Amino acid sequence: MRPRIQLLSPDLIERILREAFELLMHPGVRVGSAVVELLSSSGAKVNNGIARIPEPLVRQCLASVPPDFYLYNRQGEKAVHYGGDDVHFDPGSCCVQILDPETLEARPSETRDLVRIVQVAEMLPQFAAQSTAVVCTRKNNDDVPIAIGDLYRLFVVLQHSDKPVVTGSFSAAGLQGMIDLLIADRGSPDKLRQQPRAVFDVCPSPPLNWSEFGSHNLLDLARAGVPAEIVSMPLAGGTAPVTLAGSVTQHAAEALAGITLHQLAHPGSPIVWGGAPAIFDMRTGGAPMGAVETAMLNMACAEVGKHLGLPTHGYLVATDSKLVDAQAGAESARSAMLGALAGINMISGAGMLESLACFSVEKLVIDAESIASAERLARGIEVPAETLATAAFAETGLSGEFLKLKETRALFRQEQHLPSAVIDRSARGAEPATDILTRARTRVHELVSQYRKPSLPEDVLSKFQAIIAREAAREANQPSLLSTN
Amino acid sequence: MYHRSQLPHGPPEYNSALDRPQPRSIAAGGPVSDPLFGAMLQSIIDGAPDKAVELAQQALASGIDPLDAINLGFAVGIKFAGDQFGCGKMFLPDLLASAEAMKAAIKVLEPEMLRRGSERETLGKVVLGTARGDIHDIGKNLVATILSASGFQIFDLGTSVTPEQFVAKAKEVDADIVGVSALLTTTMAGQKAVIEALDRNGLRPRVKAIIGGAAVTQKWAAEIGADGYSRNAIDALELAKNLMADKTTHKGLAPA
């Protein structure tokens, strides 16, 4: 039996959906001009940029969403299964700061930081996918124009990783360049459709607003057949109703609207019922990612998605602490467990501090341990041998020599998660005890030194560079000075 | 049921940290060229007693000196297993399986060694037991297994051993080391009693006293005047080897 936590009764899920469908008619949803024609011609009424989307149209669009799909690694092997109760984790996305592990100060993140994050995540099996984790601040003339930052981040990740990527575009114009990059990686648009390597986060603006660029991205992704991941982020009490149930309802309405736009543009394109819902902190006005209610929102939103038979995503394993401390560990480990028990297909957020404002590579390796524990818990109690105990006793009698049993040696690795040295279980020795940040620093160094950069075919790399140069020129109207490190 | 390994294609590096160490990493750089020796050490690393026995028989049949089979083959495997355990790549069940395989191989080789009048050089004689009142022996057993597999001669007195029993055995076998294990803080006092008894009987410093157990610390070892303490069985092996080296170095100074 796989352990599961459910927060919503079937009746409550029905009620959430009923009210969400009501919201799509009253007050309706703000949409970008790009989708007005598409909606109008399909039976939705659009006035002054506000669409009223009737339930039958939404239901029709829901019916064409694939219930599951895979992301593939560079080698073309299935690596992430979006669907069912499978659970995967990826690092958080788009931080602007990085925590210096020595000075413990946050500073603007740069390309080298993104590379280091990708290297570490590449080495950790707990991360099924990479993410375009931190913004690469322009530091000097060799660095990238801010306008193509999204494209550049994906370029860096694709160069340093074989894993699938969770990414996104912050502008409508930037998306095509990113898709072109993925096509170059895969070989052709058709192959990319058949074996997608990346999923793109697309965000509505709460409440109930599919902005110009959000709408546009949905259409472009649907038509390219590249998986989209709706990241709706109601803040309970701030940009959404204060009740958790109310925020889950708003999330459902935003996601349903997004799915409708997406499926109208291209029925059958893969899309994920995802989000980064949080409560709104009534003292700071921030979005506390480590709050248990935030985890509850993510779990409940995923439950609604599962009820509709859709792939799911959530934003957990993050903390509000500014340091890699006990609060960071407690909040991140707790939400990793809850997310795994909720069966959310992709859980983003590991490595993130300060309510998603700052990334720490050291936290990423600590979170990997929490994730491994969460995955172990989610596997539940198994019965891998023929008898539970009698066969073992038949062999050892009362000698107590279980350590010598073949069964012990054959099964201990699957019965117990064996943590890395980040987790201290050793007896006290002569040397002083270390704290987890110290051990995490060591682990990061180890992983980075063991990491080997994948070898990209020369022609792929030159295609990448041509796309970057083209986009940089388009954005900046000047030739790019990019280096290829 | 969710299980990462059931995913069609999990990340290939997932098990790399847990993978069984590959023999070529030592065989390639080691002094051993005969593939039979390589197979011997591999059977120990794999913890495969049946294979080890088969290889020991094969070695005898082809006229290999049993001491060479041990020193250049099987013992290299046990050393490697110990190192892998020390750096977290092998675990207790693996280590014990290696020790069992070692034991099985030596059992096959022993008669031929006796016939040739050659003896495997003993690293030292160690008397082991748990402190009086303590019946927890898993740690002590591990130390016995590892030390024995590595070439020490072990005299295991079992559980709840009195100081007098330790002293008597140490005298009887002319022990180099006496090891006292205690899990409980309440029985740790028994370790002190053994050391005092060894002192009273004039056995120290010729006989070294070492202690171990979950609650035992360096501080406690120093407090009761033990010659050493270790956190686990592999550290105990290092400790025992170091003490033997010390004994050899200071032979002239030790009272006979």
> Is A427 in contact with B231 (Cβ distance < 8 A)?
yes
* Burial (CB count within 10 angstroms: exposed 0-12, middle 13-18, buried 19+), residue B139: buried
Q: pLDDT digits over A237-278, tens only?
A: 999 999 999 999 999 999 999 999 999 999 999 999 999 999
Q: With an 8 Å Cβ cutoff, is A404 touching chain B? A: yes
Q: With an 8 Å Cβ cutoff, is B142 touching chain A? A: yes
Cβ A240 vs Cβ A206: under 8 Å? yes
Q: Is the pLDDT of residue B24 over 50?
A: no
Residue in chain A closest to B231 (alpha carbons) equals: A427
> Is A404 in contact with B1 (Cβ distance < 8 A)?
no
List the single residue in A400, A418, A429 with the smallest CB-CB distance to B18: A418
Strands A235-236 and A209-210: unpaired
What residues contact A287, with CB distance under 8 A and at least 6 apart? Answer: A233, A235, A238, A278, A279, A280, A281, A294, A355, A356
Residue in chain B closest to A431 (alpha carbons) equals: B218
Cβ B60 vs Cβ B68: under 8 Å? no
pLDDT number for residue A138: 66
CB proximity under 8 Å: B 6-25 to A:
7-11, 13-15, 17-18
CB proximity under 8 Å: A 107-146 to B:
123, 125, 128
Residue B24 has a CB neighbour count (10 Å cut-off) of: 11
Q: Is the pLDDT of residue A139 over 80?
A: no
Residue A314 has a CB neighbour count (10 Å cut-off) of: 30
What residues contact A431, with CB distance under 8 A and at least 6 apart? Answer: none
Compute the distance between CA of residue A379 and CA of residue A231 in angstroms, rounded to an integer.
Answer: 27
Return the top range by mean pLDDT from A242-246, B109-113, B119-123: A242-246
User: Which candidate in B6, B7, B103, B143 is best for mutational testing of the A interface (most A CBs within 10 A)?
Assistant: B7
> Is A87 in contact with B3 (Cβ distance < 8 A)?
no
Instruction: Work out the pLDDT band at A231, boundaries 50, 70, 90.
Output: very high
> Is B17 in contact with A420 (Cβ distance < 8 A)?
yes
Instruction: Work out the pLDDT band at A357, boundaries 50, 70, 90.
Output: very high
Compute the distance between CA of residue A81 and CA of residue A346 in angstroms, rounded to an integer.
Answer: 9
> Is B8 in contact with A163 (Cβ distance < 8 A)?
no
Shortest alpha-carbon distance between residue A408 and chain B (Å): 7
pLDDT number for residue A183: 97
More reliable by pLDDT, B18 or B39 = B39
pLDDT number for residue A276: 97
User: Which candidate in A403, A406, A407, A431 is best for mutational testing of the B interface (most B CBs within 10 A)?
Assistant: A403
Mean per-residue pLDDT of chain B: 83
Cβ B166 vs Cβ B202: under 8 Å? no
**Residues of chain B with pLDDT > 90: what percent?**
52
Compute the distance between CA of residue A127 and CA of residue A90 in angstroms, rounded to an integer.
Answer: 5
Compute the distance between CA of residue A115 and CA of residue A159 in angstroms, rounded to an integer.
Answer: 9
Q: With an 8 Å Cβ cutoff, is A81 touching chain B? A: yes
> Is A78 in contact with B218 (Cβ distance < 8 A)?
no
Q: With an 8 Å Cβ cutoff, is B222 touching chain A? A: no
Region A152-180: what's the mean pLDDT?
93
Q: With an 8 Å Cβ cutoff, is B86 touching chain A? A: no
List the single residue in A128, A401, A427 with the smallest CB-CB distance to B214: A427
pLDDT number for residue B8: 33
Using alpha carbons, list the distances in angstroms from residue A270 to A121, A172, A220, A226, B151: 25, 19, 12, 7, 63
Identify the structural domains of chain B with CATH numbers, from first to last: 20-116 (1.10.1240.10), 125-249 (3.40.50.280)
More reliable by pLDDT, A148 or A72 = A72
Task: Tell me the whole-structure pTM to 2 decimals.
Answer: 0.87
pLDDT number for residue A402: 92
Q: With an 8 Å Cβ cutoff, is A413 touching chain B? A: yes
CB proximity under 8 Å: A 306-345 to B:
343
Instruction: Work out the pLDDT band at B149, boundaries 50, 70, 90.
Output: confident
Chain B residues in contact with A71 by the CB 8 A cut-off are none
Region A40-67: what's the mean pLDDT?
97
Identify the structural domains of chain A with CATH numbers, from first to last: 63-379 (3.20.20.480)
Q: With an 8 Å Cβ cutoff, is A378 touching chain B? A: yes
> Is B14 in contact with A128 (Cβ distance < 8 A)?
no
Region A308-316: what's the mean pLDDT?
98
Mean per-residue pLDDT of chain A: 94
Residue in chain A closest to B92 (alpha carbons) equals: A403
> Which residue, A379, A283, A377, A278, is CA-closest to A331?
A278
User: Which candidate in A341, A375, A409 is best for mutational testing of the B interface (most B CBs within 10 A)?
Assistant: A409
Q: Is the pLDDT of residue A461 over 70?
A: yes
Task: State the alpha helices, DSSP H only, in chain B.
Answer: 24-27, 35-45, 49-61, 66-68, 75-86, 92-116, 138-149, 163-173, 188-200, 218-223, 233-249
What residues contact B209, with CB distance under 8 A and at least 6 apart? Answer: B177, B178, B179, B180, B194, B195, B198, B225, B226, B227
Return the top range by mean pLDDT from A294-298, A474-478, B211-215: A294-298
Q: pLDDT digits over A399-449, tens only?
A: 888 988 999 999 999 999 999 999 999 887 778 899 999 999 999 999 999
| Chains A & B: contacts with CB separation below 8 Å | 76
